[in-house]
Amino acid sequence: MRMFAGAIGLLVFGLFPALLPAAAPTVAPPPAVGGRSHVLMDSATGKVLAAQNEHQRAEPASLTKLMTAYTIFHALKDGKVRLTDNVVVSERAWREGGAGSAGSTMFLPIHGSTTLENMLKGMIIQSGNDASIALAEHLSGSEEAFSDVMNRHAKELGMNDTHYVNSAGLPDPQHYTSAFDIALLSRALIREFPQYYAWFSEKDFLFNGIKQGNRNLLLYRDPTVDGIKTGHTQTAGYCLAASAKRGDMRMITVVMGTESPDARARASLELLNYGFRYYETRRLYEAGKPVAQARVWKGVAETVGLGVPADIWVTIPRGSLEQVKAATEAPRDLTAPLDPATPVGRLKLTLGGDPLLESPLVPLSAVAEGSLWRRTVDTVLLWFE
């Protein structure tokens, strides 16, 4: 069976007029920022661009509410709850998260109620512990049952450093996460629920005549920042998951355990600026678009386009796009039947000779077996191949 390699390379290189060897662009080392751990991640690709102790176990504090929100958003998507639901404040929600508690609150009255949408905004913008507990009880009956759902979502997202026991982020030895896991969660939340993510950029929320401001200082300092969430307890320190979009590129940074609200904001902004300054994210291939053609034997069609099953994005140092090379490993000749769900080869990308990314190559359309005559003729022709 004849194999072809390099055909994709010719196609890609046709996009870039200058192909002379060039030195790799210089990327400065990431900034040294305060805190116990941090991570900088590109949102489109998930590529980590800077990190320190990113898998170190950390107390999430109110960053827990990102998973509480993600869980409620999934319930909204599945039709289990509605934004217009009336959510009642239990004695537990009022006692552990209300005005008499030590944490942040939405100032919900005991046995009072409001819409689920208001509860979500109070939790996201004001970081209300009372709203978090009330939402958990509304969906699952108890915080304990809700925590099980949170942990299932964490497992599905690959958050291997995380375990939840409550919805608000109250301290507990069995309630923990990592900077990397919070970045994974933030990326999923932004990607899956853009219609709700806009709430994370709101600077204040008025409820029951009380107006409270968002504690994310970056919303006031950088117009490209549109989220995400702060967290703080005495033992966790000051934490921040932040995201900014500049042009078509979005970055996510998570900083854990800094010494003050200003310190977490400064550290996050330094990391975001570094990512945007030294890296770029590009879509190189679009799903459903052919990147090569293959001959088909014994089928109803003589050729089929080959492509990638999902868009291919890469995050690379700025100025290095022309150094991205591609090659295929796939048979030139295929035999019907062909199914778009079954890969027939691979596309390999390199940058400066180093592996960058691999993707399956799939037929872009199904090709059924041809008639008996077609199969017989092609069998004879293949003897001479």
Convert 210-223 into a string of H (helix), E (strand) and C (coil): EEEECCCCHHHHCC
Q: What is the percent of the chain with per-residue pLDDT over 90, rounded to a whole number?
A: 80
- CATH 3.40.710.10 fits domain 37-258: yes
Query: Which residues on adjacent β-strands are paired with residue 362?
Result: 307
In whole angstroms, give the CA distance from residue 249 to residue 189: 16
Lowest mean pLDDT among 48-62, 140-154, 369-383: 369-383
Q: Is 365 labeled as catalytic in the residue annotation?
A: no
| 3-class DSSP assignment, residue 173 | coil
37, 43, 90, 127: which one is catalytic? 127
Q: What is the pLDDT of residues 243-289, one digit of tens each?
A: 999 999 999 999 999 999 999 999 999 999 999 999 999 999 999 99
| 3-class DSSP assignment, residue 360 | strand
**Count of H helices and E strands in the chain?**
11, 18
Using pLDDT thresholds of 50, 70 and 90, give the confidence band for residue 13. very low
Q: What is the pLDDT of residues 116-137, one digit of tens each?
A: 999 999 999 999 999 999 999 9
Q: Where are the domains of the chain?
A: 3-17+284-383, 37-258
Q: Is 0.85 topped by the overall pTM?
A: yes
What is the reported pLDDT for 331?
83
37, 43, 62, 178: which one is catalytic? 62
Q: Is 62 labeled as catalytic in the residue annotation?
A: yes
Q: Is the peptide bond before 355 cis (omega within 30 degrees of 0)?
A: no
Same topology for domains 3-17+284-383 and 37-258, yes or no?
no
Contacts with 312 (C-beta within 8 Å, 6 or more apart), sequence order? 283, 284, 285, 347, 349, 357, 359
- The CA-based dihedral angle spanning residues 287, 291, 296, 299, taken in that order and rounded to the nearest 10 degrees: 30
Lowest mean pLDDT among 22-26, 54-58, 277-281, 336-340: 22-26
Helix axes 129-140, 64-77, angle to 10 degrees: 40
Tell me: pLDDT of 15 over 50. Answer: no
37, 43, 65, 268: which one is catalytic? 65
Q: Is 121 labeled as catalytic in the residue annotation?
A: no
Using pLDDT thresholds of 50, 70 and 90, give the confidence band for residue 363. very high
Mean pLDDT in residue range 310-320: 95
Domain 3-17+284-383 class in CATH: mainly beta
What is the reported pLDDT for 37?
98
Average pLDDT, the chain: 91
